[in-house]
Structure 1
Amino acid sequence: MAKSWYFFIGGDDPLDSSKYIKVPVGKHMCLCGDKICAIYAEGIDREPVSPLSDNMKVYIRTALSTGQLQPEIPVGAKKFVYLKDY
């Protein structure tokens, strides 16, 4: 299945796919911080496929606990979870 970038629109549960909306054009403009900014997830519609994959859930939890883009390993791997400070 195709993947798209989705912004986290807020709420208490960043693991809930309904809390994301597709990035309208191009790519997000966030990089690091302590809050979820965007994910690269399966889907082509307004929201990502529900539920989010188990891997994506692990990436989101790890990003929130470490403050690092995910995945970290292997070095140079495509990142699927980006963070923000605001």
Structure 2
Amino acid sequence: QEDDFDIAREIAVLTRSRTDIGAVVSFSGICRADEDSSRIAALTLEHYPGMAEEEIKRHVDEAMSRWPLNGVTVIHRVGRFMPGQN
């Protein structure tokens, strides 16, 4: 997706009304600026539609086959990111 997201909201959706979840593990990349915050105005991330989703699904399927996961949420952002955005 191109839109930013709220990770706390996504975790709340994943865990809503669930009593069988003992932990939530998350990873969220954040676009960062240079140390002086002046040289990086934005980051543009491109992907190959279809191929990227297939590869992400392969990783999710492997994780679910290896561990007893109760749920998975994957948000793969593309497009232009400003420093500080997910």
The TM-score, its normalising length taken from structure 2, stands at 0.24
Higher helix share: 2
Higher RCO, Cα 8 Å, sep 6+: 2
Higher share of residues assigned strand = 1
* Structure with the greater alpha carbon radius of gyration: 2
